[in-house]
Structures are given as C-alpha cells and as structure tokens.
Amino acid sequence: MKKPYKAKSIKSAQRRVRELQRLFDEAVTALGQYAKDRRNLAKLAAEGPAFFNPIEVAAIKRLRDEILRSECKLNPDGTIINEAGAG
C-alpha cells in the first residue's frame, strides 16, 4: 500500500494541491463527456427521430461503431469480428 503524502515544504504542498486539482478537473470533464455520450447513444436507440442535426447523428453513429468494434468485438451490422482481424 502506498504511503500517505507528506509535504516537506509549503511549496511542495501547494504543487501537490495543484496536481490533485488538475486530476480532479480532468475526471469531472471525463464524466461529463461520458454522460453526454450516454444520452446521445440513448437518442440514437430511440424508435422515433431524436436528433435535429444530421452532423450530430453521424458523429454519434461513429461513436457507436467505435464502441461496438473495440469493446464488443462486433461490426456495425452486428456480425462478429473474426480473430484474424478482417471483418
């Protein structure tokens, strides 16, 4: 287990606080993007029209296809990507 951080000076403590604040801000940004992507994918799965901008639809379809390929090992049409990588 990692030892708790102990600052040896005020300057190093301030540096550590700035680093932690930066990491926190990055995490908040990533969670915001996740929530936005989740809402957009739900709109894409809706039965009726949920988008008004065709460019936005294309971007969300690219995101969906990327998730299918990388995490589900599926092509956008639902077929399984074979082990050789061709698909």
**Top-ranked range on mean pLDDT: pick from 3-7, 30-34, 45-49, 72-76:** 30-34
**What integer is the mean pLDDT of 31-38?**
94
Q: What is the pLDDT of residue 49?
A: 81
Mean pLDDT of the chain, nearest integer? 89
Q: Would you say 61 and 44 are in contact if contact means Cβ atoms under 8 Å apart? A: yes
Q: Which residue(s) pair with 74 in the sheet?
A: 80
| Residue 44 Cα distances to 35, 63, 69, 84, angstroms | 14, 11, 17, 30
- On the question of pLDDT at 20 being above 90, the answer is yes
- On the question of pLDDT at 87 being above 80, the answer is no
- On the question of pLDDT at 83 being above 70, the answer is no
